[in-house]
Amino acid sequence: MAQFSVNAQRFDPYKNFKFLVLWDGKVVAGVSKISPMKRTTEVVKHRSGGDSSSVRKSAGRTEFDAIVLEMPGGASFVPAPVTGRLPGTSREIALGTQTLRQLHAPVGATIRISFPLFNTPPRPMTVVGTTVTPDIDVSILAGAGYDFLLFDTQHSAWEIKQLRPSIQAMHGKQAAPLVRVAANQAYQICFALDAGARGIVVPMVNTREEAQATVRACRYFPVGNRSNAGVRGEWGEFQNYRDYMDAVNNELVIVPMIETNQSLENLDAIASVSGVDVLLVGPSDLSIELGVPLDYQCDLYQRALDKIVAAAAKRGIAAGMYFIPPGMDPNFFVQKGFKFFTMPWGPWAKAGIQNGLSGIKR
């Protein structure tokens, strides 16, 4: 069965787009806006007057169940067959499209065409990040392949307002900046968003009401009460300010942490809050609450994880682990249903350096 996907390859006439929408391996459009951790309908835009629409970056590769082609008035989109070369190879491939015909939007009108994927759910994407601090060059890690970099202000010496230079250093990189605030307080969330965070992680969310408060603090009016401080963060280019606010409201990743027995009792209520994207396990705190401190492999703990995965799946959102417990295989959690977690960058960096040095005669 055909599936849409996003690929970072470039082929004319879509050369000005960073990402292309493919249908069974054929280019059908250039992507200007995508939200890799959302399962809502995605938006693509056309080429207009020889210039491409603004290009947004993706956290790696994503798949989704539908695309929407939006055309402003007076513009045309003509998908054309093209040929190209696979990067790093000599293999020539022919690309074209039979799924779109020539379209024209009359002046003053907008054509909005949806291409559903047989009403099937999207294939889940495993999103992997790492935790970082402002005292390292985060621009290197942001371009190393991680989907996100997580700045922790709960269990670290760093304050939220110290994060802005590091987040700005990530501009144009693959990884998205996420911030864990120290508490579910609107002013802390506001500080993180003003610093440019594209995702907010909130610890100790125990009830539906607390999850709703988190979402309200993250979103602009009319779906939230976030105070406005101008355009903050890397969200793309917009024709008017309302479009910017709507993009933030729709694309910001909101992540409540599940760390207590009370949150386990209220899983469905928390997961059902509109705007929540991930139920994120705080592994150590949850084990302590369950009476099995740091015993991550015991049946009681594993049953709790299964309950969290089921609650997330029921509501069409992701289940995540703040970290993978030491000595455990990340793929064990992927197979269990977790699609969001961090991995420490230090061991991988050390292994890469050692591998590079091993090839030099010294």
pLDDT tens, position by position, 212-236: 999 999 999 999 999 999 999 998 8
| Over residues 169-192, mean pLDDT | 96
Res 237 pLDDT > 80:
yes
Cβ neighbours for 15, distance < 8 A, ≥ 6 positions apart: none
First CA to last CA across the chain, in angstroms? Answer: 53
pLDDT for the residue 138: 96
Question: pLDDT band at residue 362, thresholds of 50, 70 and 90?
Answer: confident
The yes-or-no verdict on residue 84 having pLDDT over 60 is no
**112 contacts 44 by C-beta, under 8 angstroms:** no
| Mean pLDDT in residue range 173-178 | 93
Q: Is the pLDDT of residue 114 over 50?
A: no
24, pLDDT greater than 50: no
155 is catalytic: yes
pLDDT at 117 over 80: no
For the cut 70, the answer to whether the pLDDT of residue 14 exceeds it is no
Residue 260: alpha-carbon gap to chain centroid: 25
Q: What is the pTM of this model?
A: 0.69
Q: How far apart are CA 313 and CA 306, in angstroms?
A: 11
Q: What is the reported pLDDT for 325?
A: 97
Q: pLDDT value at position 22?
A: 44
Pick the closest to residue 97 from 222, 164, 221, 11 (CA basis): 11
pLDDT of residue 239: 86
Predicted local confidence at residue 236, as pLDDT: 85
Q: Residue 80: is its pLDDT beyond 80? A: no
183/175 Cα distance (integer angstroms): 24
Task: Check 46, 104, 155, 171 and give the catalytic one.
Answer: 155
Shortest CA distance to 128 belongs to which of 151, 148, 152, 150?
Answer: 148
240, pLDDT greater than 60: yes
Give the closest residue to 23 by CA, choosing from 63, 53, 50.
63
Q: Which whole number is the average pLDDT over 327-331?
A: 96
* Helix intervals (H) in the chain: 138-142, 164-169, 186-194, 208-218, 241-251, 261-265, 267-271, 283-289, 299-314, 330-336, 345-358
User: What mean pLDDT is reported for the chain?
Assistant: 75
d(CA 309, CA 284): 17
Average pLDDT on 174-184 reads 96
Position 174 scores a pLDDT of 87
Element (H, E) at 67: strand 66-71
The full set of domains in the chain, from first to last, is 4-116 (no CATH), 127-350 (3.20.20.60)
Region 354-361: what's the mean pLDDT? Answer: 94
Work out the percent of the chain whose per-residue pLDDT is above 90.
62
Cis peptide leading into residue 222 (ω within 30°): yes
Tokens of residue 31, six digits: 């992507």
Instruction: Mark residue 152 as left, alpha or beta (left: phi above 0; alpha: psi -120 to 50; beta: remaining).
Output: beta
% of the chain exceeding 70 in pLDDT = 66
Q: How confident is the model at residue 137 (pLDDT cuts 50, 70, 90)?
A: very high
Q: What integer is the mean pLDDT of 334-355?
A: 95
